[in-house]
Structure formats: C-alpha cells, structure tokens
C-alpha cells in the first residue's frame, strides 16, 4: 500500500520527551530514525504502530567522538558520516568498510547506526559489526541510563534487549588494543546488497605473532546475529597461519539456525560463511 495505516506523529526535541511518550503509549508507539526499515514495514503492514515518535529532530545525537577509553557514536549518526569519519578509519576501519557496503547511496544518506542496531535485522551489517567490536549500547529509559553489552543486546530476529520504554542513545566502542586489526565483508544480493553471508572480525596479535583476542560475528547467514565462538576459540593463542584460519573458519555457523530462502539456501550460506570468515580474518590480520 502506498500509505501506512493511520498513526499519530510526534516529532520530539529531546530524549526525555521521547521516553515520556514511549511510557505513555506503550506497545502502540515506535521510534522513527532514518525510516528506511520502519516505513517500508509499515506500508507493507508488517507493523502498525499507532504512534510514531520521530527522534530525528533531537539535537546532538549524530556524532563520532573519541573519548579516553572509547569511541562513541550517537544513535543518529548516519552511515554517510561513518563512511567519511577519520577517527573510524584510523581506529576501526571495519565500520566505514561495513557502511560502504550497505544498500545504495540513498539508504546510506539517511540510515542511522542506532536504527540498524535497534532493528536487529539478521541480514543487516551494523549489528554484526557492533557485536564483533564488543560495543556497549547506551540506552536510556524511564529508569535512567544503562549500558548493555552487544552480546546481550541482540536477542533474536528483530528482537533486542531494549525495554519497551527505552531507546538507544549511543554506541560505545572500546579503544582497540595495540596490534588490533578489524575487517568486514559480505556476499550480498544484487541492488539491495543485504548480506547472504557476512563476517565481522576484530583480532589482536601479540609480539610473538600469537592471537591474543579474537571477536568474530556472522551476519546474513543465520536467523539472528551470532558470535562465532568456535571460530574464536580455534584462533586464540594460535599463530594465525592459513591452515589455522581455514580450519577455524569452517566452524563459522556451527550450530546456528540458518536462513534458507530465495536469496540463498542454508547450505550455500553455510559454505559462504566459512569462505567469507576466512577472507575477513586474513584481512583483519593484515591490519593488525
């Protein structure tokens, strides 16, 4: 349909205002950020909120800052800003690299990192990247502010640990240890570029060339954003030669619930998760 079902529209000027409205309307309200996922879903009647709370007008939620121990991104930071951020290119090139692969330029002009993370689409790129970066999600609700570790945040397909009256306000990325490399790549569909299988990897190597930390997340292949713990385990304390990486990567989606649809069968996604994981680890390693 060309228009979503009827709703009330509430542009808000502050996070508090947004939270007050969320409290007031409960399940009937939804936050609107870039709108690239929410509005199509509303037009297709996949979701029909009665109140739309537009956080777009809230000032000062679109920023990329380096703090003492973290890099912090405001929830309304657009993909385009991430793509062009010098701070991120320096510390975490995985983020600009990942955003550059999203959809098309119009989506990247408007889509927000907070929207993507809160949307928790298994075929999206940001959730996996944020997970691999071991980000802390700063969320604010009626009971004040709390942070949720990315590992606890992505619960299931389109489901996060956000309470009904909470919104994501920022994403905190711990500063990388020395000799840390990060990378993201995916096998994607034509035109929409949603991931069929993607991998985000953050690796730290010590002086002896051993892997001291590995954080690997898989996008696209599974019905939810997943951490590839078996791959990580197979890398830690190892020297990352080709054989180690290849064998570790073959566990990329071990035990995961795989998607099988017109874009790719479960079998293909599984194979691609392994291939892409190997390639991404190699790439991250080069950067470490």
Partner 1 sequence: MELEVHINGVIEGLDAVTNESLLSLLRREGYSSVKRGCETGECGACTVLVDGIARPSCVMLASQVGGCTVSTVESLGSAEKLHPLQSAFVEVGATGCGFCTSGMLLSAFALLQNNPSPTEEDVRDALSGNLCRCNGYARPVQAVLRAAALLRGERVEPLAHPTVSVDEVSSVATEQVASGESGKHPILQTSAAASGSGGVTTKIPVISAQMLAPSTPVVPAPRTQLHVIGTATAAHHAVKAVTGKGTFAGDFEPRKMAYARVLTSPHAHAVISSIDVSQAKALPEVLAVLTYKDVPRTPYARIERTGETSLLDQYCLDYVVRYVGDRVAVVVAETAEVAEEALRLIKVEYDVQPAILDQRRAMEPGAVRVHAERESLGIVDAERNIATRVRTEIGDVEQGFASSDHVIETEYLVPAIQQAPIEKYTVTTYFDADDYLVVRTNSQIPNYLRRTLAQLTGLPMRRIRVEQPEIGGHLGLRQHIEGEDLCALLTLATRRPVRLEYTREDEFRSNHVHQQYILRMKTGVRRDGKILASQMVVFADTGAYGTHALTAQSHTVHALALYPCANMRFLAEVLYTNHAPASLSQTYELQHEFFALESHLDDVARQLEMDALALRRLNWLQAGARYPLPLAVGASRGMNTIIDSKGLSTCLQLVEEKIGWKTKRNQRKNDRYRRGVGIALGFYGEPGVLPGTSGASIKLNEEGSFELFAGRSENGSQLTTYLTQIAAEVLGVTTEDILLHAADTSSTPFENSANDVVSFYLNGSAVKKAAEQMLRQILSVAGRILNVLPESLKINHGIIKGAHGMQTTLEQVAQHSLYVENRQLMTTSFWKGQTFPMTFAAQGVEVEVDVETGGVRVLNVVTAIDAGNPINPMLSEAQIEGDVAQALGLSLSEEFFYNQDGVPLLKSWSDAHVFSATEMPELQTYLVESHEGSELFGSKAVAGLAFYGVAPALANAILNAADIRIRYLAFTPERILRAIHAYMSRKSA
What residues line the site for ligand FAD (CB under 6 A)? 30-38, 55, 75, 102-103, 107, 111-112, 114-116, 118-119, 121, 124-126, 162, 167-168, 192-194
Residue 189 or 213: the one with the smaller Cβ distance to partner 1 is 189
| Interacting span for partner 1 (CB under 8 A) from 101-109, 145-153, 156-164, 228-236 | 101-109
Residue 147 or 192: the one with the smaller Cβ distance to ligand FAD is 192
> Choosing among ligand FAD, partner 1, none, which partner's interface includes residue 161 (Cβ < 5 to 8 Å by kind)?
none
CA dist., res. 194 & res. 196, Å (int): 7
CA dist., res. 217 & res. 252, Å (int): 9
Which string of x and - marks every residue 242-271 that binds partner 1 (by CB under 8 A)?
A: -------------------xxxxx--x--x
Contact 225/217 with Cβ under 8 angstroms? yes
CB of 207 to partner 1, least distance (A): 32
CA dist., res. 187 & res. 81, Å (int): 24
> Choosing among partner 1, ligand FAD, none, which partner's interface includes residue 115 (Cβ < 5 to 8 Å by kind)?
ligand FAD
Q: Which of 14, 62, 93, 189 binds partner 1 (CB under 8 A)?
A: 189
Q: Which token pair is 22? A: 């969320």
Contact 169/140 with Cβ under 8 angstroms? yes
CA dist., res. 134 & res. 129, Å (int): 9
First to last CA, the chain: 49
Question: Which residue has the CB atom at the shortest distance from ligand FAD?
Answer: 115
CA dist., res. 240 & res. 249, Å (int): 12
CA dist., res. 82 & res. 56, Å (int): 17
**What residue ranges bind partner 1 (CB under 8 A)?**
1-9, 11, 32, 35-36, 39-40, 43-44, 52, 54, 56, 103-107, 109-110, 187, 189-192, 194, 261-265, 268, 271-272, 275-276
């Amino acid at each position: 349909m060309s228009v979503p079902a009827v709703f009330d529209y509430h542009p808000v000027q502050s996070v508090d205002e947004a939270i007050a409205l969320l409290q007031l309307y409960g399940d009937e309200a939804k936050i609107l950020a870039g709108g690239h996922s929410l509005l199509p879903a509303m037009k297709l009647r996949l979701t029909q909120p009665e109140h739309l709370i537009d956080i777009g007008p809230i000032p000062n939620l679109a920023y990329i800052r380096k703090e003492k121990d973290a890099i912090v991104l405001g929830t309304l930071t657009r993909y385009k800003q991430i793509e062009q951020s010098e701070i991120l290119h320096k510390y975490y090139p995985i983020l600009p690299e990942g955003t550059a692969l999203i959809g098309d330029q119009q989506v990247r002009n408007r889509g927000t990192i907070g929207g993507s993370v809160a949307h928790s689409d298994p075929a999206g790129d940001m959730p996996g990247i944020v997970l691999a970066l071991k980000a802390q999600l700063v969320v604010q609700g009626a009971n004040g502010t709390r942070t949720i570790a990315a590992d606890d945040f992505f619960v299931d397909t389109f489901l996060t640990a956000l309470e009904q009256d909470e919104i994501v306000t920022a994403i905190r990325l711990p500063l990388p240890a020395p000799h840390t490399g990060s990378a993201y790549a995916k096998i994607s569909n034509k035109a929409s570029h949603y991931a069929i299988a993607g991998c985000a990897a953050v690796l730290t190597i010590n002086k002896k060339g051993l892997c001291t930390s590995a954080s690997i997340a898989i996008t696209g292949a599974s019905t939810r954003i997943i951490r590839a713990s078996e791959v990580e385990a197979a890398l830690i304390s190892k020297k990352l030669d080709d054989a180690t990486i290849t064998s570790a990567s073959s566990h990329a989606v071990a035990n995961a619930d795989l998607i099988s649809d017109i874009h790719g069968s479960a079998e293909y996604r599984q194979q691609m998760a392994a291939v892409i994981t190997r390639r991404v680890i190699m790439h991250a390693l080069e950067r470490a």
